Amino acid sequence: MRLVTFAGPPAGGKTTVLCKIIKCFKNEGIPVGAVKFDCLQTEDDRIFGAMGIPSKKGLSAELCPDHYFITNIPDVYNWGQKNDLEYLFTESAGLCNRCSPYIRNILSICIIDQLSGINSPQKIGPLLKLADMVLITKGDIVSQAEREVFYRRVQMANPHGEIYFVNGLTGQGIYEICERIKELSSECVLEEQTLRFPMPMALCSYCLGETKIGEEYQIGNVKKIG
Amino acid sequence: MMNKTIRELTEQYPYINIYLDDFDINFDENRSFEENLKQQPDHFFEQRKMSFKEVLDEFEDYLDKAKAILEESIENVDDITIYPGKGKDGVPEPYEEITVHPGEIIAIVGETGSGKSRLLEDIEWQAEKDTPTGRTVIINGMSKKERRKTSGRQRLIAQLSQNMNFVLDMNVDEFLKMHAECFVSQGEVEVLVKKVYETAISLSGEEFSLNSSITGLSGGQSRALMIADCAYISRAPIVLIDEIENAGIDIQRAMKILVGSEKIVFIATHDPVLALFANKRIVIRNGAVSKIIERNEEEEKALHEAEKLYGRLLYLRNRIRSGEKISQFGGMA
């Protein structure tokens, strides 16, 4: 089974694009499953389920979503194998733009929205920079110039990755993405891999549930604005 | 490269700030990246789970790749050829191939819903029997797969359609500079911006200033700006236009400017003057190319007549716009 991780800022069209990709794999008779990682609430697992594929959801709730992802990915991986999947897709929303759920040797795809602003490529950290493929959505409703500027900035943030424009609504561009997923993904033993970028070093008093404000309540790994 | 100071690097390649900003370091601009890195405390490397050498190697790798991208030239397009597929009823299209060269304008005509946009999509997608029509589109004799290895397919094609709008909160000057900086050096930006701005004004026939907000431009002004920008800044050699409303802009001159920049233009249109103005027109019926008509001498005469009529309509429109009362139409222009 091949694991492929999809990530990107909220509301960029991840689920819509992923549904089109799933449909494309399903049409070829390839067994796929999808897991949605989210923070508070999601209905997206039902969207995947309605497509007739094994699906699952994980809500991180009070935990950091990226920590939650990485501590659950082995279980999710086993679940996929038990379901005899050939491809397992995970989807998660990058929230603070500091982290990424990407794992070395596991195909990592970032979905980013052209409407998120011309500066978003430099504001999104490892989520964009360390992806193997970057899919830009909603490019069809802006000018050619805006598309070209956005493309250039994504290139400069991530000169290693393959960059594509896709249309999540019409499915334009999806077929090629599916072909690239097949070519670039591979099977590997999950437990032997490492994260591409470390999770934040946290653990200050607020991680442990502190709610009061003020110097005396700030204990642990604290950084000052200076 | 690696021994250049941060200032030298960012002056030559302003875009690398996107990478450097991520370090959260106050770089000493008069020193190299390596010298700056040496000043960093241990926890800088601990946080990244990377050694001094790994961070340095990664930066070198980034610089190499970014430089290669910035210096990459776009593939010249000598020809684009469309091979037949089938229409909505499955009947094969009745032509052998359609080949188009730089400087040519191809109009795509047909009733609403006949499949004009689908043909544009096939070109954009560089179809290889992998779209509903089963058409194949070959650029420079190269398949889509081969092209991926050389340059990006998507950057060969610029698109302009009714649904495209400016969304950025910027003025015309900032916007054009930002786009020009993608492709030309700092010294050339100003001249290029001026050229695009002046062309856009002459196409739209309405004055707007370099300080105008791009989202505040009228329909005609923004189309004119998009076309001028496409002609002079965008490097894509193929331009696909899907039924842009003419909104008062001089669309024929706009086409002349595009092909003058050695572009190949495909335009889906209902406008009779524009359709006749094209070197060839492809007629779509029921999802299939039903005819390919080349403009002959007789059609050229018709174009001439249509242009005159159009000129008179323009004149009439301007009079109405300026508040005149119209008593007669004939013999005014």
B32 φ, ψ to 5°?
A: -75, 170
How many of the other CB atoms lie within 10 Å of CB of A1?
18
Q: What distance separates the 2 farthest-apart alpha carbons in chain B?
A: 85
* Contact by Cβ (8 Å): A92, A9: no
On chain B, the residues whose CB falls within 8 A of the CB of A115 are 167
Integer Rg of chain A from CA: 18
Strand partners, B165: A142
A98 φ, ψ to 5°?
A: -90, -30
User: Does B169 lie in the same domain as B36?
Assistant: no
Q: Is B263 at the interface with chain A, CB within 8 A? A: no
On chain B, the residues whose CB falls within 8 A of the CB of A148 are 155, 179, 182, 234
* Contact by Cβ (8 Å): B144, B126: yes
Residue B241 domain flag: yes
Residue B98 domain flag: no
Instruction: Please report, rounded to a whole number, the percentage of residues in chain A having pLDDT higher than 70.
Output: 97
Q: CA–CA distance from A122 to each of A4, A158, A195 (Å)?
A: 24, 10, 21
User: Does B52 lie in the same domain as B11?
Assistant: yes
3-state secondary structure of A32: strand
User: Does B32 lie in the same domain as B158?
Assistant: no
The 10s digit of each residue's pLDDT in A10-67 is 888 899 999 999 999 999 999 999 999 888 777 777 888 889 999 998 888 877 788 8
How many of the other CB atoms lie within 10 Å of CB of A53?
19
The 10s digit of each residue's pLDDT in B196-212 is 999 999 998 789 999 99
The 10s digit of each residue's pLDDT in A158-171 is 999 999 999 888 88
Q: Which two tokens stand for residue B181?
A: 């900086």
* Contact by Cβ (8 Å): B93, B85: yes
* Contact by Cβ (8 Å): B280, B274: no
Residue B150 has pLDDT above 60, yes or no: no
Sign of the torsion angle spanned by Cα atoms A127, A131, A137, A140? positive
User: Does B179 lie in the same domain as B66?
Assistant: no
Best of A137, A156, A175 to mutate (most B CBs within 10 Å, chain B): A156
Q: Categorize the per-residue pLDDT at A202 as very low, low, confident or very high, splitting at 50, 70 and 90.
A: low
A70 φ, ψ to 5°?
A: -70, -25
> Nearest CA of chain A to the CA of B313: how many Å?
29
Residue B136 domain flag: no
Domains and CATH numbers, chain A: 2-217 (3.40.50.300)
> Nearest CA of chain B to the CA of A80: how many Å?
30
pLDDT of residue B34: 94
Q: What is the DSSP letter of B97?
A: -
On chain B, the residues whose CB falls within 8 A of the CB of A164 are 154
pLDDT of residue B164: 87
Q: How many domains are contained in chain B?
A: 2
The stretch B244-264 carries a mean pLDDT of 84
Residue count of chain A, please give it: 226
Strand partners, B210: none
Record: contact A172-B154, CB cut-off 8 A: no
d(C-alpha A128, C-alpha B126), whole Å: 27
d(C-alpha B202, C-alpha B249), whole Å: 9
B99 vs B68, more confident: B99
B327 vs A73, more confident: A73
Residue A109 has pLDDT above 70, yes or no: yes
User: Does B45 lie in the same domain as B109?
Assistant: no
Q: Is B165 at the interface with chain A, CB within 8 A? A: yes
Q: Which residue of B has its CA nearest to A175?
A: B130
Residue B163 has pLDDT above 90, yes or no: no
Residue B208 domain flag: yes
User: Does B111 lie in the same domain as B43?
Assistant: no
User: Does B158 lie in the same domain as B10?
Assistant: no
Record: contact A115-B167, CB cut-off 8 A: yes
On chain A, the residues whose CB falls within 8 A of the CB of B21 are 122
User: Does B257 lie in the same domain as B214?
Assistant: yes
Domain enclosing residue B225, as ranges:
103-115+142-295
pLDDT of residue B246: 65
On chain B, the residues whose CB falls within 8 A of the CB of A173 are 125
Q: Is A212 at the interface with chain B, CB within 8 A? A: no
Residue A209 has pLDDT above 60, yes or no: yes
d(C-alpha A28, C-alpha A18), whole Å: 16
Integer Rg of chain B from CA: 25
Strand partners, B128: B136
User: Does B173 lie in the same domain as B64?
Assistant: no
| B307 contacts: CB under 8 Å, gap ≥ 6 | B252, B273
Place of tokens 């086993």: A78
pLDDT of residue A204: 78
Q: What is the DSSP letter of B145?
A: H
Exposure on the CB side of residue B162, measured as CA atoms within 13 A: 10
Helix/strand/coil percent split, chain B, to 5: 45, 15, 35
d(C-alpha B61, C-alpha B51), whole Å: 15
Q: Which two tokens stand for residue B220?
A: 């005609």
Residue B247 has pLDDT above 80, yes or no: no
Residue B47 domain flag: yes
On chain B, the residues whose CB falls within 8 A of the CB of A144 are 158-160, 164, 226, 229-230, 234, 236
Average per-residue pLDDT in chain B? 89
CATH of the domain at B249: 3.40.50.300
On chain B, the residues whose CB falls within 8 A of the CB of A165 are 154
Q: Which residue of B has its CA nearest to A171?
A: B131
* Contact by Cβ (8 Å): A109, A7: yes
The stretch B60-73 carries a mean pLDDT of 89
Sign of the torsion angle spanned by Cα atoms A205, A210, A213, A217? negative
Q: Categorize the per-residue pLDDT at B305 as very low, low, confident or very high, splitting at 50, 70 and 90.
A: very high
* Contact by Cβ (8 Å): A144, B158: yes
Q: Categorize the per-residue pLDDT at A201 as very low, low, confident or very high, splitting at 50, 70 and 90.
A: low
Record: contact A145-B234, CB cut-off 8 A: yes
Residue B317 domain flag: no
Q: Which two tokens stand for residue B330?
A: 């004939």
> Nearest CA of chain A to the CA of B319: how many Å?
32
d(C-alpha A160, C-alpha B141), whole Å: 27
Interfacial A residues in 131-170 facing B (CB < 8 Å): 140-146, 148-149, 151-153, 155-157, 159-160, 163-165
Q: Buried b vs exposed e over B102-138: b needs ≥16 C-beta within 10 Å?
A: bebbbbbbbeeebbbbbbbbbbbbbbbeebebbbbbb
User: Does B225 lie in the same domain as B181?
Assistant: yes
User: Does B162 lie in the same domain as B57?
Assistant: no
Residue B83 domain flag: no
The 10s digit of each residue's pLDDT in B183-240 is 888 889 999 999 999 999 999 878 999 999 999 998 889 999 999 999 999 999 999 9
| A49, amino acid identity | G
Q: CA–CA distance from A136 to each of A33, A114, A153 (Å)?
A: 23, 6, 12
d(C-alpha B169, C-alpha B166), whole Å: 9
Q: Which two tokens stand for residue A104?
A: 């070395």
Place of tokens 């029509």: B133
Q: What distance separates the 2 farthest-apart alpha carbons in chain A?
A: 61
Average per-residue pLDDT in chain A? 88
Q: Which two tokens stand for residue B4?
A: 């250049």
pLDDT of residue A82: 96
User: Does B107 lie in the same domain as B59?
Assistant: no
Record: contact B233-A145, CB cut-off 8 A: yes
Residue B333 has pLDDT above 50, yes or no: no
Q: Which residue of A has its CA nearest to B155?
A: A148
Q: What is the DSSP letter of B261?
A: T
Q: If 0-12 CB within 10 Å is exposed, 13-18 middle and 19+ buried, where does residue A71 land?
A: exposed
The stretch B290-318 carries a mean pLDDT of 90
> Nearest CA of chain A to the CA of B97: how many Å?
24
Of A142, A144, A159, the CB nearest to B158: A144
Residue B316 domain flag: no
Best of B21, B46, B71, B167 to mutate (most A CBs within 10 Å, chain A): B167
